[in-house]
Amino acid sequence: MKFTAHESFKTQVYFVSQGQELTMLDQEEEEYVRGVLSFEGKKGQIYQNFGPKGSQILLVGLGEESHLTADDYVYAAYQAAKALNGVHIESANIHLEVKGQVNNGQALQAVMEGFLQAEYRFDRYLTDKSSASLKVINVPEKVANLDQLVVEVEVLVEGINHTRDLVNTPSNDQSPAQMADQVKKLLEEVGVEVEVYDKARIEAMGMKALLAVNAGSVNEPRFLVMKYLPEGEDQKAIALVGKGITYDSGGYALKPADSMLDMKDDMAAAAAVVGTLYALAKNKVCKNVVGIAGLTENLVSATSYKNGDIIGSMKGTTIEVVNTDAEGRVTLADSLYYAATRVNSECVVDLATLTGACLVALGERTSAIMTNNRDLLVELNQAASDSGEPIWELPMTEDLRQKVKGTNGDLLNSAGRFGGTITAGVFLEHFVEGKPWAHLDIAGPAFGEKSYRYLPQGATGVPVKTLYRFVKNRIK
């Protein structure tokens, strides 16, 4: 997709808020659109008039003017792209009257994002591949720094799509070692230093929790440290920590077959960290960030860790394994402790497809957040709101803190059904050593059984946009 401000094309695309006058149409066509088709500019409404004798106009409804967000513009542009591709149009002009809660630059970037989102396809394993017809969009010239805005959004969507590709890749082509190699190649091309720790080095660091989860697999673990330090190594960094289970069978707490089908996605958080670092580095955002991910499979064999085992960790804390299918928090224990003690970190943000309880509580589109720092909460909330990736805080109450305490070991890796998302967060907090910390449970929005708005079926790339804006806008 190419964006230009210096060309003119036959096809015209108008984004229309609810109740807006349709001055772009002649009187006869407006009466038809309003009266017969009942087009009002409601969110999701589309009117198109193409063909040899058509006006070559596409109208896309935005919804109520006072409530418009950047995400509404993304969705409207995505719908426009789908409509144009559906009739094999290759180029179009867009017309944008900015309204609602966004400024000109934000609205234009959102529209460009929507057109770019419509291009995503995961077709690596398909014999017959398809591509979109739409190639060029002419945008309004009146926005300052247009070239810069175009490049930023193009790179951000690249980062989202790299995340999607990593998550959509099946586990037979993505062992921990294979994923580590892909990540290293991808990120080093944009100036991120990637250090890959093999099993021997993981053992030397004492990461007993990560190693316990890996014990059932013939594919050895990897531990990734991804450094993007444009401010200099002497300055503190934001640590982004992602769960990286490249396939999760549940271990001896074996998942049902249907529940295992999409468990290639259990490394979606690690992939989101990768996509975020890619976008930050390629866009040259001047903020120090260190990404961390422990990569392993969670499988069943004679050497697997078992329900009832008591295992160690890098910190020295012992963990009673109540449920081998609560493995993500076990691997994160070592990753978080590393982020808190081995990285010059100003704060730690971890993310994980961690609990089914999060979907029960918040549904498929909202991530849970738990934190020990109110400023972090405010910043992440704002970034999520700006990105159309909703999050909701859950409380880490004293009674749930008590539930995580073990009997024969220090902590339980699972504290039962009630408050399951929160007790997982309480477990993780134990390993951040008092650093400002936030945990995002992205179990719902990271992977979709069906497409939703502009998010594709399968890997969605959530929450790359949130993390990118959080880092970019953070003030130390």
The CA-to-CA distance between both ends of the chain, in Å, stands at 36
Rounded to 10°, the helix 464-473/374-387 angle is: 120
Environment class of 395 (CB within 10 Å of its CB; exposed 0-12, middle 13-18, buried 19+): exposed
Say whether 255 is catalytic: yes
Q: Which residues pair with 195 in a beta bridge?
A: 225
Contact 18, 64 (CB under 8 A): yes
Q: Tokens for 13?
A: 């695309």
Q: Which residues pair with 296 in a beta bridge?
A: 245
Q: Tokens for 324?
A: 């081998």
Contact 9, 138 (CB under 8 A): yes
Say whether 453 is catalytic: no
Contact 84, 58 (CB under 8 A): yes
Query: DSSP string spanning 232-284?
Result: -TTS-EEEEEEEEEEEE--TTSPPPHHHHTTGGGGGHHHHHHHHHHHHHHHTT
Q: Which of 199, 222, 282, 329 is catalytic?
A: 329
Query: DSSP string spanning 171-189?
Result: GGG--HHHHHHHHHHHHHT
Residue whose C-alpha is closest to residue 355's, from 414, 310, 410: 414
243 annotated ligand-binding residue: yes
DSSP state of 405: B
7 annotated ligand-binding residue: no
- Taken in order 15, 16, 22, 28, is the CA torsion positive or negative? positive
Residue whose C-alpha is closest to residue 205's, from 188, 221, 187, 185: 221
Contact 340, 366 (CB under 8 A): no
Query: CB neighbours (10 Å) of residue 365?
Result: 17
Q: Is the peptide bond before 463 cis (omega within 30 degrees of 0)?
A: yes
327 annotated ligand-binding residue: yes
165 annotated ligand-binding residue: no
The three-class DSSP label of residue 3 is: strand
Alpha helices, DSSP H, located in 87-219: 104-117, 146-168, 176-188, 199-204, 208-214
Instruction: Give CA–CA dist 298/248, Å, rounded.
Output: 5
Q: Tokens for 217?
A: 């697999």
113 annotated ligand-binding residue: no
Compute φ and ψ for 110, nearest 5 degrees. -65, -40
Binding site for Mn(2+): which residues? 243, 248, 266, 325, 327
Q: Which sequence positions are flagged as catalytic?
A: 255, 329
Binding site: which residues? 243, 248, 266, 325, 327
